[in-house]
Amino acid sequence: MTLKHLICDCDGVLLDSESVALAAILDGLSDRADRAQLDAFLRPRLGMTLSHIADDLAQEMGLVLSRAETLHLESVVEARCIAEAQSIRGVRDALVAVGLPLAVASNSSQSRVEAGLKNAGLWSLFADQVYTPGRGLRPKPAPDLYRAACAGLGADPASSLVLEDSVAGVTAARAAGLVVLGFVGARHGEPAAAQRLRDAGASDVFDDMTTLPARLAAWGK
């Protein structure tokens, strides 16, 4: 496989932000359900939109959030992620060393992605190649974001690779015809995460972003 383009999820791949989002959701809901039970429920769903998580909470835990409550929780999560998230260790140097055209495909809001990447010193690597549901695209696990990123880059999915940390993201990328490399090196990672990504369709899983250039070289860049 000759790699020509690299498309990255944002939260949990570029920014170590999913642990911040998880803590914010737990803080917001722990008076409504057992915190440990909520934690176990939420971890496999990180990467999904809060509206999807709210639907699952209602269906599977009987915890119903109003639209206003969901929007408030989204605003709290966004504010905390912008303020607290840091870049994944070694990610900027790794992306520069890889030297491929880059794009971001994220379920987060455009403003959150832009602010987070700018705070982490990563924004300049992606220019205008940032794709979020704010562009009128369906969120992951639908394939729209990855299809749009390929179109924006002028990329053939067969020669492009995705970095993802969530089941929803892997599912979306695979549905768009892309090969996926799973990343489990962020702070929210857990032992079961690697197998979940493989089961969703990731071709391989790794936990150290500094190894990315060597891994992609081995794929035949």
User: Residue written as tokens 């709210």?
Assistant: 54
CA distances from 175 to 31, 47, 96, 168 (A): 38, 16, 28, 11
Q: Could you give the 3-state DSSP secondary structure of residue 5?
A: strand
- How open is the CA angle 128-52-118, to the nearest 5 degrees? 25
Digit-coded pLDDT (tens) for 25-69: 999 998 888 999 998 898 888 878 888 899 999 998 999 999 999
Predicted structure pTM score: 0.87
Identify the residue whose tokens are 């599977």: 60
pLDDT digit string, tens, across residues 93-119: 999 999 999 999 999 999 999 999 999
> In the block, which residue shows the tokens 């035949």?
220
- State the first-to-last Cα distance of the chain, in angstroms, to the nearest integer: 7
